């Protein structure tokens, strides 16, 4: 979705209606589309602003782009891929997998690509959603937002950055026509994208200035190509791949104990990270620059085997003084040092807790998601519903994110919940469903109590996990199998409902299952 409505020209095409409209077709939106087709719920449409499925894996094509979750876990449970080439897949291979799944389940004809949704507003009288897009107007009984958290690039507010005369682009909008070979390049940021980009371009550029605000913790990347016997086993012995997937899941899930429950246990990971740092950064001055000052896990833990070695090269410089301004052909640090550059890569992450897309979705009382979240913080119920937004569900909503394992597991859990919600609406002949505010409040109170014990709150860092109220509204503070249990079925008792024959809102007084 775009930040605001920019085209107010009257569209002559008639308004089209569907029972369900899904916005976005990354892992989440595509997965739900497949489930609806499998259930015979064919009156749905996926509106995707890109030209293909894939979401973040379609958009992030920067050099070195790869996943930090093992391949066999970072895939749909219903569409295992025996053909992964290595233990940690790269961007192109993941995108090909997503495209292959879309083709296998024949859901592309349920997509409208290059369709930028500019607004979605609830009409309380008609009890449906009214959607405006670059490809016309739509109405829907229910809307599912599958807009990922990592879809709206965050640009730094730096004096003069718009006046830079060289090549400049965000890591998520990589300009492949820009030739960086032999150029003086600067990169702003040292997050998950930057640590992949730096070693990928270091050999090509004349010089590389890495502007670091906060040093990340790095762990070893246990990546390797799969052998031919392994590939054959994965392909012809399905149980082998299932077992591999289960083992990876179990190993990753143990991290929850340290991350969410007993942060002191993260010291074991920190010892590994410090040993890696000492080994890969022999220069004490550089090592001091890139040593974090917070507990590991407080910010996203990163994995790389070549980032530190790249920083140690003679033509690579790590700058920690901060940026005072960007000029036409240079960057001036806060200590007054000016460094001339030919190209600037902005790797400053995404709008996660303040997505511009929130401005375009207006609920029952006319307030947008931005306005609601500004008042109460980015809160929802089971990451799948928000009070004031009837007949709207969210994939990858508040507090669904993870810092240790595959988001696809959480997505499939939410798909279970939302698919059952749509089935319940039909079975009970419901006109509207809206999560009760008291249920949502109780759910979030419990979430924040759990989060108060976590390393994300007690680790001594500021991160994009936190909203402007200081609450962690991004991550799930428990085991992922607990989230799977909570979303197994749709708990209609947690929702205010109206039947098709009635236009008044009713609330079920039975306590909601949490």
Whether residue 245 is predicted with pLDDT greater than 90 in this model: the reply is: yes
C-alpha to C-alpha distance for 15 and 11, rounded to whole angstroms: 9
Mean pLDDT of 83-101: 97
Mean pLDDT of 476-487: 97
pLDDT band at 11 (very low <50, low <70, confident <90, very high): low
What residue spans define the domains of the chain? 16-152+351-430+473-487, 161-216+254-346
In sequence order, what are the residues at sequence separation of 6 or more whose Cβ sits closer than 8 angstroms to the Cβ of residue 246? none
Q: Cβ(186)–Cβ(263) under 8 Å?
A: no
Whether residue 238 is predicted with pLDDT greater than 90 in this model: the reply is: no
Alpha helices in 105-256 (DSSP H): 194-201, 228-236, 238-253, 255-256
Q: Cβ(311)–Cβ(318) under 8 Å?
A: yes
Give the pTM.
0.92
Whether residue 514 is predicted with pLDDT greater than 50 in this model: the reply is: no
Q: State the chain's mean pLDDT as an integer.
A: 92
Centroid of chain to Cα 394: 13
Whether residue 4 is predicted with pLDDT greater than 60 in this model: the reply is: no
C-alpha to C-alpha distance for 372 and 253, rounded to whole angstroms: 33
What confidence score (pLDDT) does residue 10 get? Answer: 42
Q: Which residue has the tokens 């006319």?
A: 366
Asked whether the domain spanning 161-216+254-346 has the same topology as the one spanning 16-152+351-430+473-487, the reply is yes
Mean pLDDT of 149-166: 83
C-alpha to C-alpha distance for 190 and 433, rounded to whole angstroms: 43
CATH code for the structural domain at 161-216+254-346? 3.50.50.60
Q: Which fold would CATH assign to domain 16-152+351-430+473-487?
A: FAD/NAD(P)-binding domain (3.50.50)
Q: Which residue has the tokens 């605000």?
A: 213
Closest CA to 143 of 427, 366, 432: 432
Q: Which residues of 206-243 are buried (b: 16+ CB within 10 A; e: fewer)?
A: ebbbbbbeebbbbbebebeebeeebeebbeeeeebbee
What confidence score (pLDDT) does residue 155 get? Answer: 78
Residue 270 vs residues 296, 432, 502: alpha-carbon distances, Å: 6, 49, 59
- The tens digit of pLDDT for each residue in 424-454 reads 999 999 999 999 999 999 999 999 999 999 9
Stated as kind and residue range, the H or E segment containing 16 is strand 16-23
Q: Which residues of 139-168 are buried (b: 16+ CB within 10 A; e: fewer)?
A: bbbbbbbbbbbbbbbbebebeebeebebbb
Residue 356 vs residues 1, 147, 366, 371: alpha-carbon distances, Å: 8, 11, 17, 12
What confidence score (pLDDT) does residue 462 get? Answer: 79
What confidence score (pLDDT) does residue 151 get? Answer: 62
C-alpha to C-alpha distance for 145 and 411, rounded to whole angstroms: 12
């Amino acid at each position: 979705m775009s930040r605001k409505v920019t085209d107010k020209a009257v569209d002559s095409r008639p308004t089209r209606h569907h029972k369900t409209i899904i916005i976005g077709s990354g892992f989440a939106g595509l997965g739900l589309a497949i489930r609806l087709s499998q259930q015979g719920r064919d009156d749905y449409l996926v509106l995707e602003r890109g030209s293909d499925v894939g979401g973040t894996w379609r958009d992030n094509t920067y050099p070195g782009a790869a996943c930090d979750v093992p391949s066999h876990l970072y895939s749909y449970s219903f569409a295992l891929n025996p053909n992964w080439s290595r233990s940690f897949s790269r961007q192109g291979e993941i995108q090909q997998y997503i495209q292959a799944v879309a083709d296998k389940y024949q859901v592309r004809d349920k997509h409208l690509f290059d369709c930028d949704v500019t607004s979605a507003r609830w009409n309380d009288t008609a009890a449906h959603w009214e959607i405006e897009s670059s490809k016309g107007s739509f109405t829907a009984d229910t809307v599912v937002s599958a807009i990922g958290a990592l879809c709206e690039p965050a640009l730094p507010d730096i004096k003069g950055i718009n006046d830079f005369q060289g090549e400049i682009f965000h890591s998520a909008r990589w300009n492949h026509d820009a030739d960086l070979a032999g150029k003086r390049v600067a990169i702003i940021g040292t997050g998950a994208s930057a640590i992949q980009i730096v070693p990928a371009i270091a050999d090509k550029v004349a010089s590389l200035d890495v502007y670091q605000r906060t040093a990340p913790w790095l762990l070893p990347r246990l990546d390797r190509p799969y052998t031919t016997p392994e590939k054959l086993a994965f392909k012809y012995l399905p149980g082998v791949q299932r077992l591999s997937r289960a083992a990876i899941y179990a190993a990753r899930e143990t991290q929850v104990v340290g991350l969410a429950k007993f942060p002191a246990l993260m010291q074991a990971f920190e010892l590994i990270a410090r040993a890696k740092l000492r080994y890969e950064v022999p220069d004490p001055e550089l090592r001091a620059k890139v040593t974090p000052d917070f507990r590991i896990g407080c910010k996203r833990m990163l994995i790389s085997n070549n980032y530190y070695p790249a920083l140690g090269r003679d033509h690579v410089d790590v700058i920690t003084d901060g940026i005072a301004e960007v000029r036409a052909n240079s960057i001036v640090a806060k200590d007054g040092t000016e460094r001339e550059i030919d190209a600037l890569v902005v790797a400053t992450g995404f709008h996660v807790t303040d997505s511009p897309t929130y401005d375009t979705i207006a609920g029952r009382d006319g307030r947008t998601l931005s306005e609601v979240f500004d008042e109460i913080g980015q809160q929802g119920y089971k990451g799948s519903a928000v009070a004031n937004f009837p007949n709207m569900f969210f994939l990858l909503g508040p507090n669904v994110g993870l810092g240790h394992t595959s988001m696809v597991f959480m997505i499939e859990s939410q798909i279970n919940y939302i698919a059952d919600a749509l089935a319940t609406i039909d079975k009970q002949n419901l006109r509207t469903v809206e999560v009760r505010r008291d249920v949502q409040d109780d759910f979030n109170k419990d979430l924040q109590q759990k989060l108060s014990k976590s390393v994300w709150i007690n680790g001594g860092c500021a991160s994009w996990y936190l909203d402007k109220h200081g609450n962690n509204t991004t991550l799930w503070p428990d085991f992922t199998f607990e989230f799977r249990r909570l979303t197994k079925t749709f708990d209609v008792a947690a929702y205010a409902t109206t039947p098709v024959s009635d236009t008044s809102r009713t609330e079920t007084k039975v306590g909601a299952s949490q």
